[in-house]
Each structure stands twice: as C-alpha cells, then as structure tokens.
Amino acid sequence: MRVVVTGATGLIGRALISALEDRGDQAVALSRDERHAREVLGDGVEAHAWPAPTEQRPPEAALAGADAVVHLLGEPVAQRWTAQSKAAIRNSRVAGTRNLVEGLLAVAPESRPAVLVSQSATGFYGPRDDQPVTEDAPAGNDFLAEVVVAWEREALQAATELRVVLTRTGVVLSGSGGALAKMLPFFRLGIGGPVAGGHQYVPWIHLDDVVGAMLFCLNSSQARGLVNLTAPNPVTNAELSRTLGRVLKRPAVLPVPAMALKVLYGEMAQIVTTGQRVLPARLEQLGYAFRHPELEAALRDVLGRG
C-alpha cells in the first residue's frame, strides 16, 4: 500500500511513517519543507513539498497513484491563544483540509487514493461533565469545537468519491512529546498534582494505539465517518496525576489552581481545566484490539518503567 502522510514530521506522523515502513508499505511524506522531512524521517522516505497548505493544493505527483492519505497537518493548539494564533489554528485545519480535498478530487479517478483518514479531535465535544461521550454526541460551543466542526466538514467533502474516516483523537501519551512531555518535569521534581480540582476527565490514548487505530481504519472497509481515538478507560485528571506519580515513584499531591493556568495561558487553559469522558464506541464495534487499554500500564510503557 502506498500511503501519503501530511504532518509527517510531527509526533504522530513520525510514529505512523515508521509503522507503515515496518509492515512493508510505501510511506510518502507531504511536508512544508521537503528537505526537513528527509532529515527527520530518513532518506528512504519519499517526500514532497507542500509549502503553503492554507493557500494551495498539494502537488498532484504526491497524490496520484497512492492508495490512501492520512491527514495530520495542523498548527499546535497548546499555545497561548491570541487572535492571531486562533486564526492560525483554525486556518491550518480548515483551509489546509479544504485544499487537500480539492487536490484529491482533482486527481483522475483511476489514480486517485481510495481512502482519506483525516485526523480530528475530541475537542469537538466541548467541555463535558462525567457523562460518557460517544460518536453520537453533539458538538460543543467553544472555540475548539467550532474549529473541529469546520475542519470535519471540509474533510467530508471528499466522501462522495473516497472512503473518509474522521479520527477524533484524545490526549496522546508518548515519552517523546505531547502533553505528557510537558507534565513530566514537574512530576519528576515531586511538584505535580491534580489541575483545577482534578474532577475533569482526560480522554487519553497511548501513541501505539493512535497509530494502530489509524492503520486499522486504513485497512478496514467498514471504517468510515466518525471514530473516537481514545482508550476505553478514560480517567479523571486527579487519577492521571496519582497514577503518574506512582509510576515515577514521586509525590503527586500539589494542586494546580485553575486561576494560575488562566494567568499563564489565557483562554487556552480550558484544555486542561475542562475535559470529556470520551469512549471509543465505534472502534470497539469494529473490533479494534487496544494494545494499552489501562492507564498505568500505558504510562509504564511510554516511560520505560515496566
């Protein structure tokens, strides 16, 4: 299988490229900087430049003849939100996806990829209490939910010609980046603890299962539409803190007030002061077998504390 990956040099993209190569697929990186992609991914990976995703379609040479596309491109959400950064977050996802879809539909049918797996986010659901949330739940009404609604709408424009899967991804656990990497220094110093009371749920997922579920969605003809990429056992922020402290053998009892985060990060603080109890109903229905369904074992794996 020839699979084109946008955002290939990011945390998920690097892991996905490696997994594709391990199983004998031909991975193609579609990147803003072709040279950087080769440096990060290795000279053996075919790379094509897409220097301005929000302004132009990707090159047809990258898409034609491919079997599938996995779309991961997007401006980081974990930054202080200003009017400028919020516009960049939205535009990178909405306009970038629109241009990708237009590029896909412009490829001749006999050469066009048959599958688009477009990353989305559990931010679609907005802040929730402890109610279980599946793919049937309605959208929230905050900034991130609005972005995801528009983002998914653009990806679904391809559904008339391709099988489209929207992977609403939760908080990815990895030892080499993402939310966990930002938490680790504090917990290793023994000054970590629950955030804003810790009652909010964290829709976590191990990086291995993000990649495994995406490959599963590529392969399964039954996978289409909305798919939550979260572990089957979501936990509260307080439980995440206790478990991480236990794995690191460090205390994890110092509370982090919501107001402190709001002072530091402004509106973006809502990412960690609110949450959703998201369940992977569709993945389980399709028969995906999670490699890391339990939090403590997942943390021990990513931190090498098995």
Tell me, yes or no, whether 135 lies in a domain.
yes
Tell me, yes or no, whether 261 lies in a domain.
no
Domain enclosing residue 99, as ranges: 2-170+205-230+279-288
Positive/negative CA dihedral, 79, 86, 150, 101 = negative
- CA gap 112, 99 in Å, rounded: 15
The pLDDT, as a whole number, for residue 235 is: 97
Q: 């900034």: which residue's tokens?
A: 143
The pLDDT, as a whole number, for residue 113 is: 98
Tell me, yes or no, whether 156 lies in a domain.
yes
Helix H or strand E segment including 276: none
Fill in the amino acid letter for 253.
V
**Reduced to 3 states, what is the DSSP secondary structure of residue 30?**
strand
Tens digit of pLDDT per residue, the chain (306 long)?
Answer: 999 999 999 999 999 999 999 999 999 999 999 999 999 999 889 999 999 999 999 999 999 999 999 999 999 998 889 999 999 999 999 999 999 999 999 999 999 999 999 999 999 999 998 999 999 999 999 999 999 999 999 999 999 999 999 999 999 999 888 888 888 998 999 989 999 899 999 999 999 999 999 999 999 999 999 999 999 999 999 999 999 999 999 998 888 888 877 877 788 888 889 999 999 999 999 999 999 999 999 999 999 987
Write down the pTM of the prediction: 0.96
| Cross-strand pairs, 28 | 4, 46
Q: Which residues contact 195 (CB under 8 A, 6 or more apart)?
A: 237, 241, 255, 256, 258, 261, 272, 273
- CA gap 184, 294 in Å, rounded: 19
Cite the DSSP H helix spans in the chain.
11-22, 34-41, 60-63, 83-106, 143-155, 178-188, 207-219, 237-248, 258-265, 270-273, 281-286, 295-302
Tell me, yes or no, whether 64 lies in a domain.
yes
Tell me, yes or no, whether 185 lies in a domain.
no
The pLDDT, as a whole number, for residue 197 is: 92
Tell me, yes or no, whether 300 lies in a domain.
no
Long-range own/partner contacts, residues 173-178 (CB < 8 A, 24 or more apart): 173/204, 173/205, 173/206, 173/207, 173/298, 173/299, 173/302, 174/11, 174/15, 174/206, 174/207, 174/302, 175/302, 175/303, 175/304, 176/11, 177/11, 178/11, 178/207
The enclosing domain of 113 has a CATH number of 3.40.50.720
| Cross-strand pairs, 27 | 3
The DSSP annotation for 2-14 comes to EEEEETTTSHHHH
User: For 107-162, what is each residue's pLDDT tens digit?
Assistant: 999 999 999 999 999 999 999 989 999 999 999 999 999 999 999 999 999 999 99
Tell me, yes or no, whether 250 lies in a domain.
no
Tell me, yes or no, whether 189 lies in a domain.
no
Q: Which residues contact 100 (CB under 8 A, 6 or more apart)?
A: 6, 53, 57, 58, 69, 71, 73
Q: How many domains does the chain have?
A: 1
